Amino acid sequence: MNTLFSELRTKVKTTYDITEKPFEIPVLPQAQCIVIPVIREAIAPLIIRNNDADMITDIELANELRVRMIAPKTKGVEKRRGSQILRTFGLGGRAAANKAYVKNKPSDVFDLNTFVFGDSAIGGKSKKSIYPVHAAVLYSDAISVQPYDLLIDDVFRQGGISEEYVSYDPENQKTSSNIFTTRSVRPGALFIQTLVMLGHRITKESFNHLLLSIGLAGSYGGATATTGTNLKTHLAGVYWGKIERSLNAPSQLLEKLKSDGTAAELVKQIAQLMQGAYPHHIDVKVLNAHVQNLIADFESEPVNPDLKNDYEKAAVEMRDLFDAWFKQDTKKTR
């Protein structure tokens, strides 16, 4: 891990002085691409809907019709977990998800989680200013390894049952039409997803925050799972170089896989493919051990002081960055 950490960004802010009036901005991007491929394993029935409430979202890739899980399905869970981590330390997560409003200082709203996962807010004295933050980590959609028709489960459901145990509504003199089918993805489905970091933006502290936010499992409840936590995450190593490779696209990985066996077999295949594409890598076992150490440090009582110090350092960096970058406008609404 130390080899990677030595190549990560150490400063996140710079003064742009090639102008009449210098101003503060994030450090300009440089040539670097880091990718973490992951396998998401469904361990409970999983609901992945499009605009049609009855159908599972699909896409044709690598000569098969496959289930498509859009990026926010996993990113949203991990972004919220990241905010919870910061709240534990008292170092961020003040704004509720999707409700960011800059009332006074941008750093009251934006934090390390913002830097990693991206966000935007409105506010300022005019109440119309928009403050956008591009995510340092880009999530691909997660694409199923197995074909669509092998993964879908249909469940007949009937709603509107009265206390007489029938679907007849005596008030309206009608039989209830609440009879429908729910389609879900079966446990055992495996999805390939890649998390990509471009431009030499990520720092050691933000990289570790990402890994801790990913954790071990996710996507609980709310039109997502029917029996609780439904996704188990398998990390497939870390790979990096100066230029991004097309293999970062899940479709490209799917075309090169020799089988769709277990999650462990897929991780092994992906690791071999990625090692052939990128000049540098971190082994799967080393990465998993590092994540387990981060989790142990966070869950210990008290929290490991080294981990806490890293978060405190990052909090200062993010405060200085966002307050200097997004200076409040001076216009007031009438």
Q: 309 and 227 share a domain? A: yes
Could you tell me if residue 75 is inside a domain? yes
Q: Could you give the angle at the alpha carbon of 111 between the alpha carbons of 107 and 116, nearest 5°?
A: 145
Domain boundary among 185, 206, 230: 185
What does pTM read for this prediction? 0.90
Question: Does 230 have pLDDT greater than 60?
Answer: yes
Average pLDDT over residues 10-36: 96
Residue indicated by tokens 């209830």: 176
Q: 166 and 234 share a domain? A: no
**Which has the minimum average pLDDT: 96-100, 276-280, 292-296, 297-301?**
96-100
Q: 139 and 166 share a domain? A: no
Could you tell me if residue 333 is inside a domain? no
Q: For residue 148, give both structure tokens.
A: 């669509």
Q: Could you give the angle at the alpha carbon of 320 between the alpha carbons of 310 and 26, nearest 5°?
A: 95
Q: 35 and 161 share a domain? A: no
Q: pLDDT tens-digit profile of 151-184? A: 998 877 666 556 665 666 677 777 766 666 778 8
Q: 156 and 259 share a domain? A: no
**Which has the minimum average pLDDT: 42-46, 98-102, 113-117, 234-238?**
98-102
Q: 47 and 165 share a domain? A: no
Total structural domains within the chain:
2
Q: 97 and 126 share a domain? A: yes
Could you tell me if residue 276 is inside a domain? yes
Domain span at residue 159?
152-185
Q: 131 and 59 share a domain? A: yes
Q: 180 and 257 share a domain? A: no
Q: Any idea how long the chain is?
A: 334
The whole-number pLDDT of residue 94 equals: 92
Q: Which amino acid is at 62?
A: A
The whole-number pLDDT of residue 24 equals: 95
Q: 178 and 197 share a domain? A: no
Could you tell me if residue 330 is inside a domain? no
Across the chain, mean pLDDT equals 89
Q: pLDDT tens-digit profile of 41-95? A: 999 888 887 666 668 889 999 999 999 999 998 999 899 999 999 999 999 999 8
The answer to whether 74 and 230 are in contact (CB under 8 A) is no
Name the pairing type of β-strands 64-69 and 58-61.
Answer: antiparallel
